[in-house]
Amino acid sequence: MTNIDPKPPLLRINVAIFVGLPLAALLLVPAWGIYRGFDTAQWLWALAFLYLNGMSITGGYHRLWAHKAYEASPALKWLFAFWGAGALQNSILVWASDHRRHHRHVDDNELDPYSAGRGLWFSHMGWMLREYRCNEPDFSNARDLERDPIVVWQHRHYVPLTVFMNLGLPLLLGVWLGDIIGTVLLVGLLRLVVNHHVTFFINSLAHFWGSRPYTESNSARDNGFLAFLTYGEGYHNFHHIFQADYRNGIRWWQWDPTKWMISACARLGLASNLNRVPDFRIQRALLDTEFDRARAKLAKAQDSESLRQMLEREYQEFTESINQWTALQALRYERRKEQLGGVLGEKKLHLQQKWEHAALRTRLKELEYSLKMQRKRLGLLMQQLQLQAQPA
């Protein structure tokens, strides 16, 4: 039984930001729209600010700094530091530290800062409105970020920086567009409120609504609609099991503009060392989850001995594939060490190493393909279980 104080003191500044600003937007934006109206340029600038803020959080705060999913040039880091401050979600250091704790202790009501186990409201924004013990600053998990001069600079100057990005910049833009009040309301206020809540959807809705194809060990879900709203962050079940991958949406058709931005930056020389989880590990996670589901269904089914035997044969083949893949990866590592330590100038040795590398790669691809085929067979077995479960 947990000892959680249900009503610690309110954080007045946070209440003003996360409750007061949405109420102000709800009243003032329509009022000004009726009185004066907004032009196309203001709406486009609001959208531009929204995406710059949002993707600085997803591509910078989240995938770059919190998870080290890739490396970025100083220019790209500065861009993320400024526009991320404009999202008004705290400094990189605080945000990334909280997020790392969330991943390490996901769904733990005492240690996860925004645990979904404490309800939809708490995980969405309630966790920020009171002085909960799980939100006490602790940067012991972010020593690497404390050595990053850009992170440290932004943390020290966060308040004036976020005031400039959220008020000063919209004011200057309003002077240029000829409507200061309208621009501040649309580009400053409404954009900020929308940005807040689409980000908060990942902490809340993405732990309640969607599918769990990769793991059922935590509450994170994959949800394509949330991915559309959150610049690709909605494939949250994948992310929680493969957090160091620079992608969230791994299929070509999955909406993940943050992934595309990082990939484009890599082509331009602004990003490097993009982490990608091997496809075999992804297929393994999918199969692990499907085997667990199949076993659960078989436990409830009657007269299913033949299906149970089929499942155990499939699982034995699955285990053998994993063992082969592990052995091949170890062999691949040894070959790389030999290449680095060998005399690569000798043509014969170089050709032999290339041949061995190609053979290893081919075998790894064959194993990946065998897992994909096994998933199809397991899908057919699940269909048989479904039919068997239906009443005659």
Over residues 322-367, the pLDDT tens digits come to 777 777 777 766 666 666 555 444 555 565 566 666 777 777 777 7
What pTM did the predictor assign? 0.85
Instruction: Find the range with the poorest average confidence among 2-11, 50-59, 73-82, 309-318.
Output: 2-11
Question: Checking DSSP bridges between strand 271-272 and strand 71-72, what pairing results, if any?
Answer: antiparallel
User: What's the length of the chain?
Assistant: 392
How does residue 301 score in pLDDT terms, banded at 50, 70 and 90? low
pLDDT value at residue 31: 95
Between 6 and 121, where is the model more confident? Answer: 121
Q: From its phi and psi, is residue 301 left (phi > 0), alpha (psi between -120 and 50) or beta?
A: beta
Among 258, 193, 259, residue whose Cα is nearest residue 50: 193
Compute the distance between CA of residue 18 and CA of residue 16 in angstroms, rounded to an integer: 6
Q: If DSSP codes are grouped into helix, strand and coil, which group holds residue 209?
A: coil
pLDDT value at residue 311: 72
pLDDT value at residue 49: 97
pLDDT digits over 179-212, tens only? Answer: 999 999 999 999 999 999 999 999 999 999 999 9
pLDDT digits over 42-88, tens only? Answer: 999 999 999 999 999 999 999 999 999 999 999 999 999 999 999 99
Exposure string for 154-175, b = 16+ CB within 10 A, e = fewer: bbeebeebbebbbeebbbebbe
Compute the distance between CA of residue 162 and CA of residue 338 in angstroms, rounded to an integer: 51
* Residue 368: HSE in the Cβ half-sphere, 13 Å Cα cutoff: 13
Q: What angle do CA 128, 236, 84 make, to 5 degrees?
A: 50
pLDDT digits over 133-172, tens only? Answer: 877 888 999 999 999 999 999 999 999 999 999 999 999 9
Sequence-separated contacts (24+) of 158-167 with Cβ below 8 Å: 158/85, 158/90, 158/91, 161/82, 161/85, 162/85, 162/86, 162/88, 165/82, 165/83, 165/85, 165/86, 166/86, 166/88, 166/192
pLDDT digits over 85-107, tens only? Answer: 999 999 999 999 999 999 999 99
Compute the distance between CA of residue 112 and CA of residue 103 in angstroms, rounded to an integer: 8
